[in-house]
Amino acid sequence: MFMFKKSSIKKICLAAFCLLILLILYLFPKNLNKSATITPKTSYSVSNVKDTVYILDKNDYVSRVNIALKGEDALELAKDSLSYLIVDSDNASLIPNGFKPIIPSGTKVLGAVFEDGNIKVDFSKNFLTVSIEDEVKMIEAIVYSLTSIESIKNVTILVEGEILTRLPNSKEFLPNPIDRSYGINKSYDFEKIKGTSQTTMYYLSKYDGYYYYVPVTRVSNDSKEKIEVIIKELSSSPVYETSLMSYLSSEAALQNYQVLDDAISLDFNSAILFDVTSDNILEEVTYAINLSIKDNYDVETVSYNVGDKKIATFDLKS
């Protein structure tokens, strides 16, 4: 009897051990000796179509700020975006500290129509009470905020049903429709009006630990390709304001580039790398360059190369 029990216990233990082995093989991968392959992240979106508005920072720059917009389509998103731009509106209280709206208090959006990439926005007459110091910035903020929304390409501004053709105070002519070629935070550096060109660069700024981007449109007689101007400006100290920063090293050199129909390929020296041993470029560097390219070129991707090695490719449209 004792021997029978002892034999049974051995059989039970053996069966349990076999089940344990089978369970381990089932739960864990078969190729345990192989290392996991990690694909580096080489695609980064800069469109942020549902969460970007342009409002004034503490230095009165029209600045790019991330805001969670509400809406299912371009028209709904546009209306919500505009509500952040109006002083004393319901959404104005949701703006981060250090920033402020610019459209005069009491202004109402009387109507909006979106068709074929153009959005027409009709404001109430309070819109015209903007100060002479803020009227250009107000237009810039509206145009850049609305064209940050996917599928909106340009803006037509109306007041009480009439197209606004001139600024309220200076009477400066306004194009119709208005797109990003209008510029933003313009800086003028030219000797003659004839032959001027403009290029928009994005700089980094900071308020109370919050980092954000400030676009600056440089108007000059520079005839170089825009990508050359972008890299030159971002790799040098900004002359516009000490609050604007760029993480692109002054040693970084654009050695070659290709501008294609839907892509730009950039070849740099190794100084663009944060760490030459790991082939990494700072996100702050690529983000500033990508935003700048997006404003100046109608392309879908940007590739960064050092020597014969592709470091990263970024998607500007997704």
Q: pLDDT for 73-111, tens place per residue?
A: 999 999 999 999 999 999 998 999 999 999 999 999 999
Domain span at residue 141 reads: 52-182
Residues 273 and 302 occupy one common structural domain: yes
Does residue 139 lie within any of the structural domains? Answer: yes
User: Domain total for the chain?
Assistant: 2
List, as one string, the DSSP characters of the chain.
-HHHHHHHHHHHHHHHHHHHHHHHHHHS-S-TTSPPP-----------TTSEEEEE-TTS-EEEEE-----SSHHHHHHHHHHHHBTT-GGGGGSPTT-B--BPTT--EEEEEEETTEEEEEE-GGGGG--TTTHHHHHHHHHHHHTTSTT--EEEEEETTEE--B-TTT--B--SSB-GGG-SS-EEE-S-STT-EEEEEEEEEEETTEEEEEEEEEEES--S-HHHHHHHHHTS--SS-TT-B--S-TT--EEEEEE-SSEEEEEE-GGG-SBTTTTB--HHHHHHHHHHHHHH---SEEEEEETTEEEEEEES--
Q: Is the pLDDT of residue 61 over 50?
A: yes
Residues 167 and 218 occupy one common structural domain: no
pLDDT value at residue 237: 65
Q: Is the pLDDT of residue 190 over 80?
A: no
Last residue of a domain, one of 128, 160, 182: 182
Residues 106 and 199 occupy one common structural domain: no
Residues 171 and 84 occupy one common structural domain: yes
Residues 174 and 196 occupy one common structural domain: no
Residues 81 and 147 occupy one common structural domain: yes
Residues 156 and 271 occupy one common structural domain: no
Residues 178 and 63 occupy one common structural domain: yes
Does residue 100 lie within any of the structural domains? Answer: yes
Better-predicted residue by pLDDT, 236 or 128:
128
Q: Is the pLDDT of residue 32 over 50?
A: no
pLDDT confidence band for 193 (50 / 70 / 90): confident
Better-predicted residue by pLDDT, 1 or 86:
86
Last residue of a domain, one of 149, 182, 215: 182
pTM beyond 0.85, yes or no = no
As a whole number, mean pLDDT of residues 128-138 equals 98
Does residue 5 lie within any of the structural domains? Answer: no
Residues 58 and 166 occupy one common structural domain: yes
Residues 122 and 203 occupy one common structural domain: no
Residues 57 and 171 occupy one common structural domain: yes
What is the share, in percent, of the chain residues with pLDDT greater than 70? Answer: 82
Mean pLDDT score across all residues of the chain? 85
Window from 15-24, 73-82, 85-94, 139-148 with minimum mean pLDDT: 15-24
Q: Is the pLDDT of residue 16 over 60?
A: no
Does residue 199 lie within any of the structural domains? Answer: yes
Residues 149 and 205 occupy one common structural domain: no
Does residue 59 lie within any of the structural domains? Answer: yes
pLDDT in tens, 239-270: 556 789 999 999 999 999 999 999 999 999 99
Last residue of a domain, one of 153, 182, 211: 182
